Amino acid sequence: MIHPTAIIDPKAEIDDSVEVGAYSIIKNNVRIGKGSVIGSHVSIDPFVTIGEDCQIFQYASVGATPQDLKFRGEETYLKIGRGTVIREFATINRGTAGGGGITEVGEDNFLMAYTHVAHDCKTGKRVILANNATLAGHVTIGDYATIGGLVAIHQFVRIGDFAYVGGKSAVVKDIPPYVIAAGDRAHLKGLNSVGMQRGGISPETVSALKKVYRIVFRIGLTLNEAVERLKAEVDPLPEVANFINFVKTSSRGLTR
């Protein structure tokens, strides 16, 4: 059902099952998949694709132009994955030509009230952003990561899979997968064992990752020395390989 006060551009492609609330504005070149619900007073700007079964609550701003002084009106995009929930007053910007041209919010994300996802950010599946979490441009967040309330993440930072960032943290360096980080500036607090268990990671894998964490962060080795010890002493599980690849490819430096 589309409320009669909603304003929808004729060039928008909206599945017949989509609900649109009162006074919402949906502009041209927007696509919305079946089963999605758009609340009242939502603004959806051009070049936005919203997957199936999403929920967007009142007063959210979806797909506005980037807050980037280099942006010159080029055609860029925002893609929101299936099953994502976007709560009140959240803001998500499109990409920029210099950053790949697209912002991507993954499947089954939960963006709470007042969260901000800036241009060219990418989030994996089942990511949670708690109230007022703020992502600067070009931030990448892995699968099953949780970002606490009032967290500010610097541009170009990466957050690994299953990472947990505590509330009111300021994050200026990459946070590896499977860890807990918190503080201003954020520093590591240990492994996110509870989050991994809830996500179905086996006890054997969690045990291996504990060894990984100790070798990399607790015994004073250089990163290259730590990686060589990991290869020699820890079972080559997919999660271990993911951790090693993450730390080896960090360009901003690692949170420790």
pLDDT in tens, the chain (256 residues): 999 999 999 999 999 999 999 999 999 999 999 999 999 999 999 999 999 999 999 999 999 999 999 999 999 999 999 999 999 999 999 999 999 999 999 999 999 999 999 999 999 999 999 999 999 999 999 999 999 999 999 999 999 999 999 999 999 999 999 999 999 999 999 999 999 999 999 999 999 999 999 999 999 999 999 999 998 999 999 999 999 999 999 999 999 9
- Claim to verify: residue 106 and residue 22 sit in the same structural domain: yes
CATH classification at residue 216? 1.20.1180.10
Q: Is residue 149 part of a domain?
A: no
Q: Is 119 a catalytic residue?
A: yes
Q: Is residue 33 part of a domain?
A: yes
CATH classification at residue 17? 2.160.10.10
Catalytic hit among 68, 120, 161, 174 = 120
Please give the pLDDT value at position 29. 98
Q: Is residue 148 part of a domain?
A: no
- Claim to verify: residue 132 and residue 203 sit in the same structural domain: no
Catalytic hit among 119, 124, 143, 195 = 119
Please give the pLDDT value at position 153. 98
> DSSP 3-state helix, strand, coil percentages of the chain (rounded to 5)?
20, 30, 55
Catalytic hit among 33, 83, 124, 137 = 137
Domain termination residue (choose one: 138, 162, 179): 138
Q: Number of structural domains, the chain?
A: 2
**DSSP secondary structure code for residue 65 in this structure:** P
Q: Is residue 181 part of a domain?
A: no
Please give the pLDDT value at position 230. 92
- Claim to verify: residue 95 and residue 205 sit in the same structural domain: no
Could you tell me the residue range of the domain that residue 243 belongs to?
A: 196-248
Please give the pLDDT value at position 4. 98
Please give the pLDDT value at position 44. 98
Q: DSSP of 167-213, one letter per residue?
A: TT-EE-SBB-TTEEEETBTTEEEEE-HHHHHHTT--HHHHHHHHHHH
Q: Is 108 a catalytic residue?
A: no
